[in-house]
Amino acid sequence: MKSDTKKILIIGINGFIGSHLAAELLKRRRYEVYGLDLYDFRILHLLGKDGFFFTKGDIYKNWDLLEEYISHCDVVVPLAAIAQPKLYIQEPLQVFELDFEANLKIIQAVVKHNKFLLFPSTSEVYGKVRENYFNEDTTDIVVGPINEQRWIYSTIKQLLDRLIHAYGLKEGLRYCCFRPFNWIGSGLDSIKDAQNGTSRVVTSFISMLLMKEPVKIVGDGKQSRCFTDIKDGVDCLIRIIDNSDICDKQIINIGNPYIFLSVYELALKCIETFKKSPKIPEDIKEHATYKFVSREEFYGKGYDDIFYRKPSIEKAKTLLDWKPSISIEDSLEKCIDHLFHEWKDLNGNS
Ligand code: UGA
């Protein structure tokens, strides 16, 4: 490796975003990638690759090693977090401990060692805003009352964004906060998560179809999202890493405003793509259908939905010459493929 190779530390590297980001960075052969995670099942294919340094471990128990990694690397990407709405409601204190407390400790170590922080904020920060396009620097933030437990994640991330901003002003922290808008792709949750009701919507829908159950549309299905392929998202992240001077002290939305679907339209799209997939057996396809369920039935008490969510991506376009290019059909096909393999493994490869 050349001495000017950028060293990137990904904490939570076995997660959905971390594993895709690590694979793409290593593919481009211009980076050294350091990673820490409790698990390694999504990155097994990367172990042993040139320029990849991985430790299986815990942020708390392996803190000394983690701090050594932070002091050694140029860019720190802390991705260890709980990001499933059902868990915000079921396990709010765990969300606080991991998403807030553990990440704050990491942010403070990044400040101490004067490294560049690439921090995952979230589309959830905007909450219930009704503007046509959510803007990173001008849109107000609107969330619900305390008894709507869902908002704990949004407000934790918001406070971290504000702290990072303050560290930038007061201590010169170099950072970029990125806001993913419903990224989808292989490895976004598992079939087991879908069975527990904790997976995000695309995994949930496809898993139900594989299990010959109707997909469950929560509420009236009119709530909408912009679905963004993980490959487009990761491409933008690498542009930020390559242009960290330009992106310093910025918040950047990373989403696909051209793929704007209601949850009902998404259900129909999933069913259509599923039925067209050549790999799925006909006897599974013939059960593909949907039903409506109430919010409380699906999530329990404490859930509030977000009716509308669409990013402005003008900043990513201007600063990074980035825009998303992958179609929803291509993204869903990849998700179906991945979950079908997982489903076959669970069922003894039959
Ligand atoms: C997500 C999560 O909070 C985070 O992953 C992330 O920070 C952020 O938003 C994002 O990915 O941009 P949400 O968009 O509500 O929240 O994510 P999903 O759980 O995928 O739900 C999307 C919509 O589908 C919701 O209206 C939900 O009620 C609905 N849904 C979900 C169903 O109709 N059926 C299901 O089986 C699952």
Is the minimum distance from the CB of 182 to ligand 1 under 6 angstroms? Answer: yes
From the CA of 296, how far away is ligand 1's center (Å)?
A: 15
Give the pLDDT of residue 348: 84
- Catalytic-role residue among 124, 174, 225, 342: 124
From the CA of 77, how far away is ligand 1's center (Å)?
A: 23
CA–CA distance, 250 with 177 (Å, rounded to integer) = 6
Is the minimum distance from the CB of 85 to ligand 1 under 6 angstroms? Answer: yes
From the CA of 56, how far away is ligand 1's center (Å)?
A: 29
> Among candidates 134, 127, 190, which has minimal Cα distance to 338?
190
Residue with tokens 């059960």: 287
- The secondary structure element, H or E, covering residue 160 is helix 151-171
The DSSP line for 261-327 is EEHHHHHHHHHHHHHH-TTS-HHHHTT--EEEE-HHHHH-TT--------B--HHHHHHH-------
Atom of ligand 1 lying closest to residue 223 CA? 26
- How far from 131 is each of 16, 159, 261, CA to CA, in Å? 29, 22, 17
Take residue 228 and report the two structure tokens written for it: 């963004």
Per-residue pLDDT reduced to its tens digit, 41-79: 999 999 999 999 999 999 999 999 999 999 999 999 999
Residue with tokens 């998303």: 324
- Catalytic-role residue among 179, 239, 309, 342: 309
CA–CA distance, 106 with 347 (Å, rounded to integer) = 40
Tell the residue nearest (CA) to atom 16 of ligand 1: 85
Q: Hey, which residues does 52 pair with through a beta bridge?
A: 33
Active site residue 309: yes
Give the pLDDT of residue 138: 98
Neighbour tally for 9: CB within 10 Å: 26
By CB neighbour count within 10 A (0-12 exposed, 13-18 middle, 19+ buried), where does 131 fall? middle
pLDDT beneath 70, residues of the chain? 1-3, 349-350
Tell the residue nearest (CA) to atom 7 of ligand 1: 122
> Among candidates 177, 187, 323, 203, which has minimal Cα distance to 255?
323
Is the minimum distance from the CB of 83 to ligand 1 under 6 angstroms? Answer: yes
Is the minimum distance from the CB of 11 to ligand 1 under 6 angstroms? Answer: no
Tell the residue nearest (CA) to atom 21 of ligand 1: 201
Atom of ligand 1 lying closest to residue 122 CA? 7
By CB neighbour count within 10 A (0-12 exposed, 13-18 middle, 19+ buried), where does 60 fall? exposed
CA–CA distance, 164 with 78 (Å, rounded to integer) = 13
Q: How many residues does the chain have?
A: 350
Tell the residue nearest (CA) to atom 30 of ligand 1: 201
pTM of this structure: 0.97
Mutation probe of ligand 1 site: the residue of 99, 218, 228 with most atoms within 8 A of C-beta: 218
